[in-house]
Each structure stands twice: as structure tokens, then as C-alpha cells.
Structure 1
Amino acid sequence: MNKPFENGFSAAMRLVAGKWKIDILCALSQAPRRFGRLRHSIPDISEKMLAQQLREMEVDGLVIRQAYPGLPAKVVYSLTESGTALCASAEGLCRWSERFQGRVEAEA
């Protein structure tokens, strides 16, 4: 739930708070992925953490979990329209970081 005083940037940052959510957004922006493939595309994340982050992102409306019948069950994760837009917006922050990271670290 959004707080009345929360600005748009704060709301977006709250949605991607967590060590792995940006990595998940970036991986899913390339293509929808099954859990195992997504797990391999983010080598340092544990299965438990990936599952937890995906559940949170699904609740927040950033990720869609599509289950297909069959044995074994096939589950594919993809970005919602909102998740895709957030990912596109995050690209600007990535470019900023690439450009100014050395300066920011030197000033710290």
C-alpha cells in the first residue's frame, strides 16, 4: 500500500528493494524464463531467495507466474507491463551508475 507522503521514486525504489530484484527484472526483461533458467542466469542467488523475491514481485504486480499442466509442472515467469516499464526506467539509473560510479566512490 502506498503511503500518502510517498513520491513516485520512493514507491519504485520500495518495489525493487532487496538484493536480487533488479537482477531478476533484468533477466526477465530479456525473455520469460522458467525457474531453473532464471536461477542459472543469477549465479549467486539461492533457490529459496529467488522463490521469495519472485513471490514478492508477483504480489507487487511486477511479475507474472504462469503454470502449465503436465508432469513435471512447467512454470514460466515473465514481466508484467508494470514490470517492463520499471525495468526500462531502471536502465537510466544503470547508465548513471556506469558514468559516475568512480566519482561517487572517490567522494565517499
Structure 2
Amino acid sequence: MAETDFTMQDEMRRAFAMLSGKWKLEIMWLLNQRIHRFGELRKAIPGITQHMLTAQLRELEADGLITRTVFAEVPPRVDYEMTPKARGLGPTMEALAAWWAVHGGTVPVRPGAGRRKS
């Protein structure tokens, strides 16, 4: 198979890789609601460290899913928002939320899998 011959499985693997990471989907869910500042994201995601949030945001930006806007203010203000490409994931997020509303109550709670305090 030539290097450019991708199967749908290969394409899905690439798509999943863009969104994999412990916090990426939660970040994307929040940014789907509105533009957030770094500190707002940190407060909205209990348990995430500043280092991990920075790393996840950088990866999402590198993949073209979010934009980072720095304002020349003192103190500096940085806003994060979804790109139009990422907005295309909106129906997928809504479908996942609808699925969870129906089936989430049947999913056993795993110890340590809930939201942690920061």
C-alpha cells in the first residue's frame, strides 16, 4: 500500500489522535460554549495542572482546532477559542451529550474517575 493510501481506519486513528489526551475533550467542550481565558479554563477543569493545560492547549492549537489571541495589556490577557474547523465537531459533541443523557446512568462509576479537587 502506498504511503498516501489511507483506509478509513487510518483516518479515524488520526482523528482520534488529535482529540486524545486526558483533558482535550473537556477543553473542547468548554470552548464550544464560549471563548475562555487561560485562568477560566484552569478553574473550570478541576485536577488539571497549569503545565498540562498549557501542553494540551498548545497541541490543540498546533492541530488547528483552537486559536490563541494575546492582548497587549498589563497584565497580559490570552483568549482561547475554537476554530471553524473545530466547530465542525459541534454535532459530534451534541450527539455524545445526548448519548450520555440516555445511557450515562448505566455506566458504573470507577473509583478515582470522578472530578478531582485541584
Q: Structures share a fold, TM > 0.5?
A: yes
Q: Which of the numbers 89, 92, 95 marks the counterpart of 2:92? A: 89
CA distance in 2, matches of 1:11, 1:93: 19
Please give the secondary structure, in 2, of the residue aligned with 1:82: helix
Q: Which moved more, 1:9-18 or 1:57-66?
A: 9-18
Aligned residues: percent identity? 35
CA distance in 1, matches of 2:33, 2:87: 10
CA contact (8 A) 1:25 1:87 kept: no
Number of equivalences: 102
CA distance in 1, matches of 2:5, 2:50: 32
TM-score normalized with structure 2 length: 0.75
Asked whether 1:70 is paired with 2:63, we answer no
- Moved >6 Å (runs of 4+): none
Q: Which residue of 2 aligns with 1:4?
A: 6
Query: What are the ranges of 5 or more consecutive residues in structure 1 without an aligned counterpart?
Result: none
String of CA shifts for 1:35-82, please: whole Å, max 9, x gaps. Answer: 001111111211111000000000011010001112211110000011
Q: Which moved more, 1:44-53 or 1:85-94?
A: 85-94
Shift of 1:3: 7.9
Please give the secondary structure, in 2, of the residue aligned with 1:83: helix
* CA RMSD across the alignment: 2.1
CA contact (8 A) 1:39 1:50 kept: yes
Higher fraction of helix: 1
Please give the secondary structure, in 1, of the residue aligned with 2:88: helix
Structure with max Cα Rg: 2
TM-score normalized with structure 1 length: 0.81
